[in-house]
Amino acid sequence: MTRTAFFISDGTGITAESLGRSLLAQFESVEIRMLTKPYIDSLDKARTLVAIIEATAVRDGEQPIIIDTIVDEQIREVIRQAPGFKVDIFSTFLKPLEEELEAHSSYSVGRTHSIGRDDVYMDRIQSVHFALDNDDGARTHQYDKADLILVGVSRCGKTPTSLYLALQFGIRAANYPLTEDDQDENGTLKLPKALVPHRHKLFGLTIDPRRLAAIRHERRPNSRYSSMDQCVQEVEQAEGLYRQMHIPYIDTTRFSVEEISTRMIAETGLTRRFSPR
């Protein structure tokens, strides 16, 4: 059975989509086609969308699921006319909060993902720049300014995790690749000299060698770099280094970048500079 879910917003749609995906992920037996419809900020756009939802209901033979964060009451009234199972996030939660706080909501569009305070916005941008500047072992002389330094073999997820930590939490994350250049004369992986003064900031990433080989094969097919033997050796050496140096680490094979980042923050006790958008 296939159902269609619409995530509707008069802003970016990020809140509706994030909550909607989290809720619908609990129903693994149902195939759900998810559509995000942002900036439904006029009556004409709302009416056009209602027509799309009506056509979808006819095509699917089932009423769509409608999850919205529409603020404007007139636009919400138009959306209510669409055939579907509706989850109105704002009306569900804001009314009880107004009663509890004894205050009225501003019902402003885009408050969650607006720039807001300039200092918070600039800190976010600076954190992203730091992650980009310190990607893949670049500028190790800046590691004294890092909140966290991710280490791991090539293609285990260091770069996307660093950027997510920066963008979502304002954490200045650098990342350093563990390679054969860091091995001693006996072929044993050693902690790189650039990382020794910053051991307390290190966090390791590992990955299933089969998954690593598949990822590397897309980049360099039929190469030593992507061979199973090479991937197994690199992962085993990296994990051995983590255990020897007491570096906390996480297996990225089955975790999303959001889960990896949140687990890191929980385990390290890092303070988020701001809440995720």
87 annotated ligand-binding residue? no
201 annotated ligand-binding residue? no
20 annotated ligand-binding residue? no
159 annotated ligand-binding residue? yes
CA of residue 66 relative to chain centroid, distance:
23
Nearest C-alpha neighbor of 209 from the set 263, 151, 156: 156
Write 22-25 long-range contacts (CB < 8 A, 24+).
Answer: 23/67, 23/87, 24/65
Alpha carbon distance 78, 69 (integer Å) = 13
Alpha carbon distance 2, 65 (integer Å) = 11
152 annotated ligand-binding residue? yes
Nearest C-alpha neighbor of 151 from the set 110, 199, 217: 199
**Hey, CA dihedral for 89, 5, 169, 246, is it positive or negative?**
positive
158 annotated ligand-binding residue? yes
Binding-site residues: 152-159
Binding-site residues for ADP: 152-159
